[in-house]
Amino acid sequence: MRRGFDLVAPHYRWMEILTAGGKLHRCRTQYLKEVDSSSRVLVFGEGNGRFLCDFLRTNSVATVSCVDSSSGMIDHARRRMRHFGLPEDRVSFIHENALNWKPRLSDYDLIVTQFFLDCFPANELRSVVGEIALSSTTDAKWLVADFREPVSGWRRARARFMLRVMYWFFRNATGLAAWELTNPDLLLCSAGFLLKTRRISEWGLLHSDLWVKQ
């Protein structure tokens, strides 16, 4: 039985600031302008609502569904929205495991997975990406922000060390099934998406992508 992110939820914000400053949030918000007219948005593993709040400020039309298996994270996201006076009627929170949840319609023109796909081991990631892709419209965009491993050199060694520490922590704190990073690029391509733009930062440790459906 996986414990999930409830225990970590109250500490997630300060831990992120302490370990990464604003670097992860720059990845999350990199392409907000490109998605300011998306109308049906599906966010997986939104966490404490930081992307969601910035998104709602720049996009005044979209309705958003957020699927997250942690009720603690959902509470934090709701509180953050209230704190900033953002319209709660535009967002539905769905407390579900992404491995089990299926949308009723395939009408999402924007998919968002940020620091979420890294939660899955390779065998689960394949089905998660496939199912998520099925929920999207033919012209959908997909925002992905996550960690990555550079291909060689000291940057790779540094990233591998940091990832090892991160996975050790999250496996112990949340019962995460993954113990290493699986690159989702080929899975996104197989699911019909094409990488439009990628920004790599933090010596190759982070990437922020905009994918578009073919």
Compute the least distance from the CB of residue 152 to ligand SAM, in Å.
27
Cα(121)–Cα(163) distance, integer angstroms: 14
Cα(148)–Cα(78) distance, integer angstroms: 30
Q: Residue 112 is encoded by which pair of tokens?
A: 């968002």
Compute the least distance from the CB of residue 210 to ligand SAM, in Å.
16
Q: Which is nearer to ligand SAM, 21 or 153 (CB)?
A: 21
Cα–Cα distance list, 143 to 49, 128, 174 (Å):
16, 15, 24
Compute the least distance from the CB of residue 138 to ligand SAM, in Å.
25
Q: Which is nearer to ligand SAM, 23 or 83 (CB)?
A: 23
Q: Which is nearer to ligand SAM, 45 or 204 (CB)?
A: 45
Cα(103)–Cα(185) distance, integer angstroms: 23
Footprint of ligand SAM on this chain (CB under 6 A)?
Answer: 4-5, 28, 45-47, 51, 67-70, 73, 97-99, 114-116, 119
Compute the least distance from the CB of residue 66 to ligand SAM, in Å.
9
DSSP state of 115: S
Q: Which is nearer to ligand SAM, 45 or 184 (CB)?
A: 45
Q: Which is nearer to ligand SAM, 6 or 185 (CB)?
A: 6
Q: Taking Cα atoms as reference points, which of 143, 140, 98 lies closest to residue 119?
A: 98
Compute the least distance from the CB of residue 113 to ligand SAM, in Å.
8
Cα(198)–Cα(203) distance, integer angstroms: 14
